[in-house]
Chain A
Amino acid sequence: MQQRTPIEEQIDLPFVESLRISFQSLKIRFGRSIITTAGITLGIAFLVSVWTNNEIGIALQESGRQSTINTFEETTEQGISTKDIWLIIMSLIVCVVGIANSMLMAVTERFREIGTMKCLGALDGFVVRLFLLESGFQGFSGALIGALVGTLGAVLLGLKDYGLDLFFYFPLLPANPEDGPMQLGVIIIILLGCILGMILAVIGSSFPAWRAAKLPPAEAMRTEV
């Protein structure tokens, strides 16, 4: 049996080509992309609204105003109550689990597609890059909308509790730590929400995509969802 031309190495795809494929994929799967993105939006909106709501409460109590309904709460001198800390931690967990789940589902239904692309000559790295780009975009837009919606929700709640006073004492910027309990301010919370949403979306998508890309294509293509 004679040796033919040796098998060359597969080339790496230029970045623009990956970008184009990922956007096309988001566009055609628009309905499905929206649902996945909505999962991110919900998680971040919940977290940001709880957190912002909490900061609004502290800021207005600092100012000496009293909530019309929350007067009986055992707020410590330091401002933030254990109950509030738990609420924020719980909402963080809900957010992490919700986003990870929604990304994982979106990738799992595409195992067959991953296997097929590998049959056509895709490198593992290309598959991962594709999911990185798609989820990065979904994560950023979903989290930004979520953060804005969450802030809006907290503001509406604050208006209900404190009336227009809210706007005089609105904790937009970080408070001076010497003045009292740690307060990040709404701008930082929005920013953190966006970053968190994006990181969670990217990890939640790329990690399973990487696992699927490492599988032999025959196995990846067997999965039926």
Chain B
Amino acid sequence: MADIVVKTEDVVKEYRMGSNILRALDGINIEINRGEYISLMGPSGSGKSTLFNMIGALDRPTEGRVYIDGQNMSQLSQKQIAAFRCHRVGYIFQSYNLLHVRSAHGNVTLPMIFAGISEKQRNEKAEQLLDMVGLGDRMYHLPDELSGGQRQRVAIARALANDPSIVLADEPTANLDTITGREIIDLIKRLNTEQGVTVISATHDLKMLDVSDRIVDIRDGLVERIRNRDEIEIEVGEVGGAGH
């Protein structure tokens, strides 16, 4: 039996704007296995980020349930949700979301401060993580002094600070050029294969296709289809062939 780490049941999210109600998610049912690399794909406005927020406990669904590790997220207390965000999930965003008043090192240590880890341990861990993402020589730079790709590396290091079992990435490459984007994807893929981290990434980026185990196509707030790796490879081949 596959080990299911994320499961959504009929997840609906409605946004109310005045008298209008916008149904951004219209009943999403997906199951994600531990250690998988999942890409959420779909046109702009289809609901990828909204789903990302539901899975990461960054917002509450209007209806339906999200289970992480078998735990119904809507039954958690405030303090449990904070601990969940702190320990179980690492978030990576399109716009990096680094705290601009803290250095690269300071950004990576913050989740460890919240986790109550000793200063010595968190400094060691931050150095090790920043080394791993290739920023060993830029540790004490402020985010404003780093390039987009470097900032996203800091964000990745920060996401890994408390050894999460899930990494959620919302369009991590959208603000980066092709080559830098490729490097970021490879880095995330490495976490997935080497450390067994479950990766769930919303993306437009076709470069994500060939590292994904499965692709969930979202359209108008619904799961349109789910493609497996073997189906993807054929399509990537076709795309590649047509391009040449």
Contacts and interface: CB of A to CB of B under 8 A. Distances in A.
Interface centre among B56, B67, B79, B111 (most CB of A within 10 A): B79
Contact of A120 (B59, B71, B86, B101): B86
Contact of B80 (A5, A8, A21, A112): A8
A218 B59 contact: yes
Contacts of A25: 101
Nearest to B89: A119
Interface stretch (B113-121, B184-192, B198-206): B113-121
A122 interface: yes
A69 interface: no
A1 B60 contact: no
B147 to A, nearest CB: 20
A117 B4 contact: no
A28 B100 CA distance: 9
B239 interface: no
Nearest to A26: B101
B99 interface: yes
Interface in B65-81: 67, 69-71, 76-80
Interface in A153-212: none
Nearest to B111: A120
Interface string A21-49: 10011001100000000000000000000
A98 interface: no
Given A2-B70, A217-B58, A17 B102 contact: no
B182 interface: no
B83 A7 contact: yes
Contact of A124 (B3, B78, B116, B158): B78
Contacts of A17: 113
A221 B67 CA distance: 24
Contacts of B115: 11, 121
A221 B116 contact: no
B79 A123 contact: yes
A1 B79 contact: no
Interface of B: 3-4, 7, 53, 56, 58-60, 67, 69-71, 76-80, 82-88, 91, 93, 97-99, 101-102, 106, 110-111, 113-116, 142, 158, 162
In the A-B complex, the 7 residue pairs with the smallest Cβ-Cβ separation, listed nearest first, are A121-B86, A10-B82, A121-B114, A10-B83, A4-B69, A218-B59, A218-B58
Interface of A: 1-11, 13, 17, 21, 24-25, 28-29, 112-113, 115-124, 126, 216-219, 221
Given A10-B86, A24-B106, A218-B58, 9 more contacts: A1-B4, A1-B67, A7-B71, A7-B80, A113-B99, A121-B86, A121-B162, A216-B60, A221-B58
23 contacts: A2-B70, A7-B83, A11-B83, A11-B115, A24-B101, A24-B102, A113-B101, A115-B97, A119-B58, A120-B85, A120-B110, A120-B114, A121-B83, A121-B87, A121-B111, A122-B82, A123-B78, A123-B79, A124-B78, A216-B58, A217-B58, A217-B59, A218-B59
